[in-house]
Amino acid sequence: MVRYCAIFTFGFFCLVSVVGLEARAASALADPPSIHLRGGKTIRAGLCGANRVTTAVGEGERLVAVVRRAKRSAPLLRVDRCAGRRWTDGRRIRARRRGASFVARIDTSDPADLRVKLRGRRPAYVRVGVGELADVSVRFRVENLNRSMVPCQSDGKRYTLSGHIVGPRAAMHDGAATTVYLHGAAVPEATWRMPVPGYDYGREQARRGHLSVTLDRLSYGSSPTPNGLQTCFGSQADMAHQIVGQLRAGTYEADAPIRFSRIALAGHSAGQVIAQIAAYSFGDIDALVVGGWGDPVAKAEDFVVLVPTVATCATGGEPKRPGQPAGYAFTFKGVVREFLFYNAEERVIQAYVSRHERDACDASLATAPPINALALSRVQVPVFLFYGLNDALWPPPTGERQRSLFRGSHDVTLLQLPDTGHMIMLGRTAPTFRSAVSAWLADHGF
């Protein structure tokens, strides 16, 4: 009898122990540990290739991770970033005790898609601003043809131009809208993506939700270098037209090319001349964003600045770089500060000067402006014009005169910035310029 009682008692306590363990397990499943986020708002968004419940927060807004039911020691959180649709191991953050919980401040200073992790707990997902920014290398196969309304000489050969698409990863899908930015003389694509904090125009516009295409035009930067006498404003406009077509069809080269449904064409200085020619010659864009040039003729002071360039080109020009084709000359050599910059930081001017290149000896520089003055009335899409009021090359009333030439468009906006020189995207007023362009683009579906 005693033996049976002992067995019964032992079995009873075993049963109680098992039941207790199962109860605790059930409790854990019913109330699984998790990471809570304070701040922002809850949305569903595609992060790193999956649709997830996400906390959306603006750049610089306060966001705190709260860990409940943690052990006594302060937990170590890991904040991963999404890069190219993959999570990359991020920084570690030691949480601090706050009452019965532990808390940690999440850095929201830059746009990103984040994953907040703690071992044994379900991760929390965060979209800061517009989320992960993508910077995609692209290539455009073009022909140096001239079918524009500005007659000039080109070699008709095929070339591959290099560039980038930058913007929110979430916005990169078929049917998206983008703006193609053409640089002017002297400095190539870096004009629109200068590697100086706060002056990378494409990245700063990406933070506002815009997709931008920047590139080295033929004979600049990493793009090929033909003889400088065999490329001109007209052929550059034709190549811009070819690029627009490839962006619409998704036939450019990239890791995962997408097809754009709406395309704005932008250009600064000589890039404005090219963008305008493309707009009235081919009529295949949805908006025009240009500035830093005036038609129909340049001022006398401008011709004085160009005298050394014209003299060099009159003898056939110089090689673009040692060992490369001829037909090139420096523009604004030695007078960059005086003519191109006003109210700008020294580090930006130095970055610009260090990238100064020779320009093609383009004879259409004399014929394109008067043709522009006659043909700009053919442009019917919305137009955004921008000028610095302290531009030494194109001072007031250049902006008003240029606006009057777009008689065929019922939507022409003129921005004139005080305390701003020719390189409007590289002066201290650049944030104001970017904000104005961003608002206009957003209002027009870009």
Q: Give residue-wise pLDDT tens across range 338-394.
A: 999 999 999 999 999 999 999 999 989 889 999 999 999 999 999 999 999 999 999
Q: What is the rounded average pLDDT of the residues 41-66?
A: 93
Is the pLDDT reported for residue 47 higher than 80? yes
DSSP letter at 210 equals -
pLDDT level of residue 300 (50, 70, 90 thresholds)? low
Task: Examine the pLDDT at 336 and tell me if it is beyond 80.
Answer: yes
Burial state string for 305-327 with b = 16 or more CB within 10 A and e = fewer than 16: bbebbeebbeeebbebeeebbbb
Q: How far is Cα 27 from Cα 198, in angstroms, rounded to an integer?
A: 51
Q: Taking the CA of residue 129 as centre, how many other CA atoms within 13 Å lie in the half-sphere pointing to its CB?
A: 21
- Rounded to 10 deg, the angle between the 233-249 and 270-282 helix axes is 60
Q: What is the pLDDT of residues 21-43, one digit of tens each?
A: 344 434 333 344 478 999 999 99
What rounded mean pLDDT belongs to the chain? 90
What does the pLDDT read at residue 12?
Answer: 38
Q: Token pair for residue 372?
A: 């522009």
Task: List the beta bridge partners of residue 268.
Answer: 291
C-alpha span between 223 and 216 (Å, rounded): 6
Could you please state the CATH topology (level 3) that the domain comprising 35-128 is classified under.
Immunoglobulin-like (2.60.40)
Kindly indicate the confidence band of residue 185, based on its pLDDT and cuts at 50, 70 and 90.
very high
Residue 18 has pLDDT above 50, yes or no: no
Taking Cα atoms as reference points, which of 368, 367, 359 lies closest to residue 312?
359
Omega cis (within 30) before 224: no
DSSP of 299-342? -HHHHHHHHHHHHHHHTT-B-SSTTS---EE-SSTT-HHHHH-S
Q: Is the peptide bond before 33 cis (omega within 30 degrees of 0)?
A: no
pLDDT at residue 90, as a whole number:
85
The yes-or-no verdict on residue 304 having pLDDT over 80 is no
Q: Where are the domains of the chain?
A: 35-128, 133-443
Q: What is the pLDDT of residue 210?
A: 97
Provide the Cα torsion 204, 207, 210, 215; round to 10°.
40
β-pairing, 328-329 with 287-291?
Answer: unpaired
Q: Give the total residue count for the chain.
A: 446
Residue 439: pLDDT above 70? yes
- Enter the pTM of the model: 0.87
Topology annotation, domain 133-443:
Rossmann fold (3.40.50)
Mean pLDDT value across residues 294-314: 81
- DSSP sequence for 155-205: ---EEEEEEEEEEEGGG-STTEEEEEEE--SSS-GGGTS-SSTT--HHHHH
pLDDT at 318: 97
